[in-house]
Chains A and B, each alone.
Chain A
Amino acid sequence: MDTNLNARSLSPTSSPLVVVDGVRQRYPKGSGESLLVLDGISLKLGTNEIVSLLGRSGCGKSSLLRIIAGLLPASEGKVSIAGRPVAGPANDVAMVFQTFALFPWLTVQENVEIGLEAQGIAPAERHRRALAAIDLIGLDGYESAYPKELSGGMRQRVGLARALVVHPKLLLMDEPFSALDVLTAETLRTDLLDLWGEGRMPISSILLVTHNIEEAVLMSDRILVFSSNPGRLVAEIPVTLPQPRNRLDPTFRQLVDDIYALMTARPAGKTSGAFAGSGISMLLPHLSPNLLAGFLEAVAGEPYRGRADLPALAGTLQMEIDDLFPIAETLQLLRLAELAEGDIRLTEAGRRFVDLDSDDRKRLFAQHLLAYVPLAGHIKRVLDERGAHRAPASRFRDELEDHMSEQFADQTLQAVTSWGRYAEAFAYDEATGVFSLDNPV
């Protein structure tokens, strides 16, 4: 469902600010091969718009942002800003980092001045502009404080002031609110939108990376939705609601629901569900069985009674989609739940699971684990076949590393180990690194 961006672009300007053309990004994988993270990304960014890149963790949003910022050379493809090809950090781009990236040994003012200092601007001029930016962002009075002394929200304001003070054309923001608590994040979003609406920021466009669907709908004029493994642009959604937007507005809710549905839809032509890879080399998220059980209980209980709207559930459980989706998809893989149109529904087995006592739960979980998680079944078979019923973990890790990076192989093996232990399907000894059928007492 690739969309033709040029045709649907909301604010077609004669000369776009940013043009990304056929960008691919690969990272080296363990075994000499490379991991394709971004595949054929083409997009344009006009002037006077806020565009969100929405996608799940690991889909390559940050990589794309860094490519546009000139911090990372793309493996393939071209990027240009204001007509000039990007070859290194450029003057007319400024970035706000998820982790703030402030220098702890510099005061607020010195942090804000750093970009100007690098440009060789005279101290007096630097001071004036830094104070103006600090004022604008609502930090006056804190000029000589150190970042350690500030709350997270104030630190991110410093990050914003530092970016604005160099008068960039394009402001890049990589999950700028995700390290903040809910209320602080909301205040900062509102303030940013106000500044933007009143035209008080010296910038012409904002590109915002997020994995928070509501944030994207709240802030942007256009949302670009990414798929994972590899990251592709799957949809472009214009948001025409007037600012300020109301989260409770039915049109707002509908849009959020639609995006949830879009993001949980099974990609066409994939048999293994939502996870990358297939068969025993499926990349599994490391989630504790208790979390899975708790989630099943929440969906089975009031008010959902076995069927829940994902956005609503995310609200009740206080979960971001990066927490929510892997759980839902793991339950789907285990055939304990199903995902459709932005809803999650418990299967027959899922409903039964909730009513069982803890031993029977383990038994049911074990059946599903061995039947539907190929790697778990594989480990069990190997253990059954061997005379001593023992096998080193390295044997399976090597198999996995043929298909995925070391880090992902570890993660997958950890996931299967913790599920297998809960199900009492097999045991694992941390010290020796050996799987066995010994029943731990």
Chain B
Amino acid sequence: MAKRNEPAGIPAPLGVASAAGAARLWPNFYDIAIFVLIAGVFAAVAHGARGMVAPAAWLASDPVTLDPANLPDYALRTTLRMFAAIAASLLFTFVVATLAAKSRRAELVILPALDILQSVPVLGFLTFTVVFFVGLFPQSQLGAECAAIFAIFTSQAWNMAFSFYQSLRTVPPDLDEASRHFRLSPWLRFWRLEVPFAAPGLIWNTMMSMSGGWFFVVASEAITVGDTTIKLPGIGSWLALAIAERNVPAVLMAVATMGAVILAYDQLLFRPIVAWADKFRFEQTAAQQRPRSWVYNLWRRGRLTQRLTMLASSLYARLYAVVPRRAPTPQSVAPVSAGRAADMVWLAVVLVLVGWALWRITLFVDQTLSFHDVAEAIGLGFLTLLRVAVLIALASLVWVPIGVWIGLRPAIATRVQPVAQFLAAFPANVLFPIAVVAIVSWKLDPDIWLSPLMVLGTQWYILFNVIAGASAFPTDMREVATLFRLRSWQWWRKVIIPGILPYYVTGALTASGGSWNASIVAEVASWGDTRLEAAGLGAYIAQATEAGDFPRVVLGIAVMSIMVVACNRLIWRPLYRLAEKRFRLN
């Protein structure tokens, strides 16, 4: 029983875990450092949460101001919205992805739904959700908060759910057999096998979602729908106010604050979690290069924090001990005929619901929209498509060579990679005003010069994926290429491009999806009273939102979703499959 003193987290009864070796409870330096950090976080959360449920009247009496003293508070509010959304996304993931993986019928509906939702421009949603949530909580600020959180949620949840679903479907067969053999209940199996196995993928996707989320939190804090203008205290509202007042220093302060927030999030959360999650990697061998994090090391070295880890793991153990053990499930051999009949019923239900939805949509759209509107939206859609295509091509031309150059030099790559990830997380819309000032003062054509804003934040996905691809390129293959003295164009065409193609496609797919989304805020920009507009579907949706013209918002979103889905299906996926099949380096 002496084993309980080991830090490895054997689930021990609570009392025993904390009472053992009381003499060593005296904190050391690391404990103090971590506790200061934690105490700070707690104080901040408590303060921020109080504001969230304040009545809406408070919002009017204490409007957002450009007082720098408020900026930390605003940054905190913005961050809290992010975390609320990520918590909701995780919950969604656990429930929906599990359902999809366990039930074939649910899978039939959930998978395509996720796929499409992933392609729907999130910012288009805001119109409905703001109205809906404000209506739900008319007396307090909570409605607006929920709308903002929901907007972030819709930008995060889908890829997390996908990742979790895929992990659930690819649980290693021998572990699956072992857990069936030792008769783990579904609940125990979920926490002991499925969640740990899915952890690395899910954590990575959560981090990517978080990175993407900053953009939306900024965009969703200050929003006007018809007559309703909502300004939630946060960096986004600060920025909107700074733009309205043409206040350049305030814009720069927002940029700096955002940078600090993302840096803190990266160092205090992202890296420690990635370092910790390393133990869930499925490979049975120890990796040569493990992710490192100074915060994580601090945590592991502190005595008190070690105890906390044990406490947490024993709580985790209790989590699945609370659910009564179900009788072991023998392999189900369901009668096929019954399954068929139920399938038909299920299909019928789905069809009826789809029919009803179609009817509602037609009803909704038919009253106000003509064929002309549809043609207009599609035409504008092609303009935006052209922008996205040209910009992704330009970004690729710039970042692929740079990414390859960096990726082939491990010493540089390890230093640049975090920077690229940081840049991808940085909400580019905070930088928009600076670009707009430039366009206005040099009298540039907005149709052309507003466009780069669309890839400002998303191009980094191309960069860090290409770096990852080039870093993974086998050394011996590079040496062979050197040995045969391939001319440089040949080297690119025959050696390196095939090698990084799967990575590049992943990056470019993410980047183009993000650019479509960004077009809604990037094709319309203002600076004080000056308003710049580029012709495109993004501007179309933005204008319709501002005017509270719901049918046109729906039309715009629908056209954009279809175009994004079409791009994914017709270009990116085939390309990815080709890259995987032809060029995979074992």
Contact = CB atoms under 8 A, between A and B. Distances in A.
Interface of A: 66, 69-73, 87-89, 91, 94-95, 97, 99-107, 109-110, 114-115, 117-120, 123-124, 127-128, 131, 143-144, 146-149, 155, 162, 166
A120 B327 CA distance: 11
Given A104-B282, A118-B188, A118-B325, A71 B180 contact: yes
A432 to B, nearest CB: 13
A71 B331 contact: yes
Contacts of A87: 330
A329 to B, nearest CB: 29
A89 B280 contact: no
A341 to B, nearest CB: 39
Nearest to B582: A431
Contacts of B3: 109, 127, 131, 143-144
Nearest to B8: A144
B13 A114 contact: no
Given A104-B281, A144-B6, A147-B284, 7 more contacts: A69-B181, A71-B177, A73-B331, A127-B1, A127-B10, A143-B6, A148-B286
Contact of B279 (A66, A105, A143): A105
Contacts of A70: 330-331
How big is the B interface, by class? 35 or more
B39 interface: no
B10 A109 contact: yes
A91 B330 CA distance: 12
Contacts of A109: 3, 10
Nearest to B331: A73
B300 interface: no
A110 B174 contact: no
Given A73-B331, A89-B181, A166-B182, A110 B10 contact: yes
Contacts of B329: 88
Contacts of B281: 104
Contacts of B8: 107, 144
A166 B184 CA distance: 13
Nearest to B286: A148
Nearest to A126: B11
Contacts of A106: 192
Contacts of A88: 328-331
Given A87-B330, A131-B3, A117 B178 contact: no
Interface string B299-336: 00000000000000000010000000100111101000
The interface residues of chain A, by DSSP majority, are classed as loop
Given A103-B175, A109-B10, A144-B6, A89 B328 contact: yes
B183 A89 contact: yes
A103 B177 CA distance: 12
A95 B181 contact: yes
B177 A97 contact: yes
B529 to A, nearest CB: 58
Contact of A101 (B1, B177, B192, B283): B177
Contact of B185 (A73, A118, A143): A118
Which of A100, A109, A117 has the most B CB atoms < 10 Å from its CB?
A117
Contacts of A69: 181
Interface in B285-309: 285-286
A119 B326 CA distance: 10
Contacts of A119: 183, 325
A105 B333 contact: no
A127 B3 CA distance: 9
Contacts of B7: 144
Given A88-B329, A144-B6, A105 B182 contact: no
Interface centre among B184, B185, B280 (most CB of A within 10 A): B184
A149 B290 CA distance: 14
B196 interface: yes
B439 interface: no
A71 B183 CA distance: 10
Interface in B51-69: none
A162 B178 CA distance: 10
B325 A123 contact: no
Interface string B1-40: 1010011111111000000000000000000000000000
Nearest to A93: B181
- Central interface residue in A66, A143, A162, A166, by most chain B CB within 10 Å: A143
B193 interface: yes
Contacts of B13: 123-124
B192 A103 contact: yes
Interface string B183-209: 111001000110011010000000000
Nearest to B193: A103
A155 B284 CA distance: 10
Contacts of A91: 183
A123 B333 contact: no
Interface string B228-246: 0000000000000000000
Contacts of A124: 13
A71 B282 CA distance: 23
A120 B331 contact: no
Contacts of A94: 181-182
A89 B183 CA distance: 7
Nearest to B320: A117
A70 B333 CA distance: 13
B539 to A, nearest CB: 47
Nearest to A152: B284
B196 A103 contact: yes
Contacts of B9: 107
Contacts of A99: 174
Contacts of B199: 105
Contact of B280 (A105, A110, A143, A144): A105
B140 to A, nearest CB: 43
Nearest to A172: B181
A101 B173 CA distance: 9
24 contacts: A70-B331, A89-B180, A89-B181, A97-B178, A101-B178, A103-B175, A103-B192, A103-B196, A104-B279, A105-B197, A105-B280, A107-B8, A109-B10, A110-B11, A114-B192, A115-B183, A118-B184, A127-B3, A127-B10, A143-B6, A144-B7, A148-B284, A148-B285, A149-B286
Nearest to A70: B330
Given A71-B331, A117-B188, A118-B188, A107 B182 contact: no
A107 B197 CA distance: 15
Nearest to B189: A118
A117 B321 CA distance: 9
Given A118-B183, A127-B1, A107 B10 contact: yes
A177 to B, nearest CB: 16
Nearest to A111: B178
A72 B182 contact: no
Contacts of B283: 104, 148
A286 B177 CA distance: 29
Contact of B325 (A107, A120, A127): A120
A328 B188 CA distance: 49
Contacts of B330: 70, 87-89
Nearest to B185: A118
A101 B188 CA distance: 17
A145 to B, nearest CB: 8
Contacts of A128: 1
B12 A123 contact: yes
A100 B174 CA distance: 8
A99 B173 CA distance: 10
B181 A105 contact: no
Interface centre among A88, A91, A162 (most CB of B within 10 A): A88
Nearest to A162: B182
Contacts of B178: 95, 97, 101-103
Contacts of A107: 8-10
Contacts of A166: 182
Given A89-B183, A148-B286, A73 B175 contact: no
A158 B123 CA distance: 53
Nearest to B324: A120
B279 A146 contact: yes
A299 to B, nearest CB: 34
